[in-house]
Every structure is written in C-alpha cells, then in structure tokens.
Amino acid sequence: MAAFDLVIRNARCATAADTFNADIGIIQGRIAALGLDLAGGAEEIDAAGRWVLPGGIDAHVHFDQPTNDGSRMADDFLTGTRSAACGGTTTVIPFACQQKGQSLRAAVEDYHLRAEGKASVDYAFHLIVADPTDNVLDVELPALIREGYSSFKIYMTYDDLKLNDRQIIDVLAVARAEGAMVMIHAENTDCISWLTERLLKQGKTAPRYHAQSRPMLVEREATHRAIALSELVDVPILIVHVSGREAVEQIRWAQGQGLRIYAETCPQYLFLTAEDLGLEDDEHNHGAKCICSPPPRDKANQQVIWDGLESGLFQVFSSDHAPFCFDGPDGKKAAGADASFDKIPNGIPGVETRLPLLFSHGVLNGPLEMSQFVALTATNPAKTYGLYPRKGSIAVGADADLVIWDTGLERTIKNTDLHHAVDYTPYEGIAVSAWPAITLLRGEIVWRDGEFTGQAGKGQFLPCDLPTPAHPKTRKDNS
C-alpha cells in the first residue's frame, strides 16, 4: 500500500519564512510529510523544480452580494470560486453584508444559502456591519464572532453602508472586547458628496470624474480618522484597499507610533491609473470598467504602493473582486448607458488575475522576495483572519492547498481566457510571465493545464478563530 495518497516530488517550496526543496506527501487532504525522497504515493506529480507555493487566500472578494441600485454582481459562488481556483486561489473570504434594518444573523444565513453547493474552493465570511443597533452590538455581533465570523468590515462612505464616528467607536469597542479584526473602508463621505454635486453641476459626468470626486485627500482624512478612533479604543484595525501616498503616509506614521494598524492593497493600485477611467468625451462610458473606490491614482502613486509592499507596510494583497458586467442592464449600465459617474456601480473583477500579476511583476520582474509574495497573498491573510495554521502555509498538518507554478511564460491577460462571469477584465493586454499550472485544494486538483477540474460544492465553509493580530497591544507597564 502506498505511504501517501499523493506525493508532489521535487518541489521548490516557499513559505513566508523559507524556501526549500522537498517532496510533499499528502494524506487525506493534508500535508503529512515534507522531506527528501519520500516513500511512494498512490498518485505522484513531478514538480520538476518548479515553484510550489501555498494556495492563495483572497481575503477581499465580493460574490453575489445584494445591491440596492438595480445592479447585480456577475459572479456568484459558482463562477467566483471557479475563477479563483483557475488563478491559484484556494480560499476566498467574501462579505455577508447586513442591509440597514436587517439583523446581522439574517445576513449571514442568507449568505450561507448563496454559497451552499456552489463553492469549489474553501471560503470564510467577513461580516459587513451597516446597522449597529443595540441588539447588533450587544448580542448578535459578539455571538457571531464567537461562532467563527471573527472579522468584519465597516464603511466610512456609501449612503447605505456608512457609519458615523460614534457608531465606528461603538463597533470598535465590540471588536476589542471580543478579539475580532475590523477592516475599514476609509473615504470621507461628506467630502465626496460635496465634490460630486459640484462636478455634476458643471456637467462633468463622465467616468473619469469619479477620480476627481474622490481625490486622495478624501482617503487621507478618513484613514487618519480611522487610525485615531482605533487608537482611542485601543484596538487594531486593517485599512482596506489603500490607493496611494497620502494614505500610506498616515499608516506609516501610525505604525511608527507602535499602533497596530494593518493595511491591504490591491492590483488596481499597481496596474491601473486614473487615466484608465477614460477621457472627457468617453461616449460609451468605457472608463466605467475601471470605476472602483478608492480610484486608481497615477504612476507615482503606483510606485508608492510597490514600495509599501516591499517594505512590509502592507500585510495583505487582495483583489477586491467586485464583479459587474460592462454590457447588459444590470452591471455598470444599471442606471443607463450614459449614466453619470456617481450612478455607476463601484468595483472591478480580479480574483483570477491577482496572483499571476503580482508573481510576474512583483517577484519575477520586480522588487519582492518569493517569501514576501507568499506572506502577502496567503500566510498573512490566514493569520489576519484566523485561518492559520490550517491555511496559508506549507507545513505538516496544514491543508494541502498548493499551487505549482509555470514561469517563463510569454502571455498577456485576455478576458476570453478567464473563468469569471464578467464580460471584461480591467487588466486586458497586460503581460504575465507566471500562471498556475496546477492548483490543489486539500490535495485534489481543481485546475490543471488550462482546465478547471474542481467541483461545485466541494469548497468547505471555514469558521475562523480569533485572529492573533487583532489582540490589543500588551503594554509594558513600569508603574
């Protein structure tokens, strides 16, 4: 009888700490042994010296999330997780979003129904707290955190989601008491609405004005305020989708003060600029394809984001996959083909392209060490959201979520090659030199040589532990 269900031979492994050559022995979906010349497996794959990395964890995706503006997310858990697997991501963390007036638990139950039987990679849920009533703060949120929903996002903008400062403080206090991780969307909502009104009055309605309605000052102010509120309550927070210099400066300052401020950035802030939002006479609103918030900035800000990835300012690199079709009545054109920028759904797809883009331009042809890539895309997300050590590394006992990479490729990203249900990718035409050859989810091949081989319903729901990075700082008290 074979010693292992599967052995991956001659792997060039990387973790967030080390790189090493090993055979990987897998039993019942978990890594059972790492070693040289391991005994035989019932199946064997020869990695032949190729990079074998932990499966990606995309800790910021939106699948099948209900909307209030007539739009509909193109990807549900079926197509969203399929796309994830094909791009080397084996765990996703989308959002169970509370609508105002809805109980948080109802939002979670609804979201489980949306995922059930459809997911082909593993998944956990972040909560979105949009209506922090007394019952939510005192009963629902603490209970849900203890049940494995140990992270949640709050918004400082968007009319149907935003919290005021007092509400943010109340929610942060619950996170501190319970040990949850809070993700904050930091943009100043009143500045945005004032700027938007002015632009519209001047007839500036094209997609490109989205960027002018949300300049970096708006993000800087809210980032500063979020940091101050977290300092007041003495609880760590993570600022999501950081776009450029001014927010980075706030985060760097806070980290320098010893505050536990974590930060996430996304491919759109490395590979897109405000110019991708189109020209003034964008007759067909093509720039809508790149409308997301915060908006992409400019080349100088892209460099600041690269520097932040390299220096360790950022802990997490996510896609913020928010999938709306460009054509059709319920995507970017939900309010009409020539709708003004403020009526165009925010968000762009990217769950499948996140890892190949960063591997190609960050590691093979950029400033990142392989271990930094692994940390940003797998290990740190697992630790930040309570999935470590089951997920996020190559270690004995961990789930055998692994990606064997092809490198040295000469290809460009084409939407026709992708597996999401969106009719475009904002990254069309960008060159990549790396793509997963094989993705394994708990030892099962879900993507091999250009074919999706996963199965709907095989993805498991992952209750999350309380994340260690969410612990308030232990102070040395000399008094």
Residues that bind ligand URP (CB under 6 A): 62, 185, 241, 292-293, 320, 322, 346-347
Supply the minimum distance, in Å, between the C-beta of residue 432 and ligand URP.
23
470 residue type, one letter: A
- Are 93 and 459 contacting, i.e. CB atoms less than 8 angstroms apart? no
Say which amino acid occupies 160. Answer: D
Picked from ligand URP, Zn ion, none, the partner binding residue 236 (CB below 5 to 8 A depending on kind) is none
Shortest separation between residue 197's beta carbon and Zn ion, angstroms? 22
Nearer CB in complex with Zn ion: 176/185:
185
Q: Which is nearer to Zn ion, 355 or 404 (CB)?
A: 355
CB-nearer residue toward ligand URP: 98 or 360: 98
Q: Does 185 bind Zn ion (CB under 5 A)?
A: yes
CB of residue 467 vs ligand URP: minimum separation in angstroms? 20
Measured from the CB atom, is 12 or 220 closer to ligand URP? 220
Give the contacts of 75 (CB within 8 A, at least 6 positions apart).
Answer: 63, 64, 83, 321, 323, 349, 351, 420, 421, 422
> Is residue 223 helix, strand or coil?
helix
**Should residue 320 be labelled a site residue for Zn ion when binding is judged by CB under 5 A?**
yes
Of the pair 320, 342, the CB lying nearest ligand URP is at 320
Which residue's structure tokens are 């004032």?
A: 194
Cα–Cα dist 51/8, whole Å: 11
Nearest distance, CB of residue 5 and Zn ion, angstroms: 37
Smallest gap from Cβ 163 to Zn ion, in A, equals 13
Query: Which amino acid, 370?
Result: M
CA distances from 355 to 83, 208, 309, 406, 422 (A): 12, 27, 14, 12, 18
Return the number of the residue (114 or 185) whose C-beta is nearest Zn ion: 185
The site partner of 292 among ligand URP, Zn ion, none (C-beta below 5 to 8 Å per kind) is ligand URP
Nearer to ligand URP, 23 or 221 (CB): 221
- Residue 59: CB minimum distance to Zn ion, A: 10
Tell me the C-alpha distance between 430 and 125, whole Å: 31
Contact stretch for Zn ion (CB under 5 A) within 17-25, 49-57, 277-285, 317-325? 317-325
* Cβ–Cβ < 8 Å for 433, 365: yes
Residues in contact with Zn ion, total (CB under 5 A)?
2
> Are the C-beta atoms of 207 and 277 separated by less than 8 Å?
yes
| Closer by beta carbon to ligand URP, 132 or else 347 | 347
C-beta closer to ligand URP: residue 73 or 404: 73
Residues 6+ apart with CB under 8 A from 161: 97, 128, 130, 155
Query: Measured between alpha carbons, how far is 288 from 293 in angstroms, rounded to an integer?
Result: 12
Residues 6+ apart with CB under 8 A from 387: 57, 91, 124, 381, 462, 464, 465
Smallest gap, in angstroms, from Cβ of residue 69 to ligand URP? 12
d(CA 179, CA 230): 13
In the complex, what is the shortest distance from the CB of residue 226 to ligand URP, in angstroms, rounded to a whole number?
14
Strand, helix or coil for residue 78: helix
Question: What, of ligand URP, Zn ion, none, does residue 442 touch, CB below 5 to 8 Å by kind?
Answer: none
CB of 371 to Zn ion, least distance (A): 27
Measure the CA angle with vertex 389, ends 43 and 95; round to 5°: 100
Q: Which of Zn ion, ligand URP, none binds 346 (CB below 5-8 Å, type-dependent)?
A: ligand URP
Task: Answer yes or no: are the C-beta atoms of 468 and 383 closer than 8 Å.
Answer: yes
What residues make contact with Zn ion under the rule CB under 5 A? Answer: 185, 320
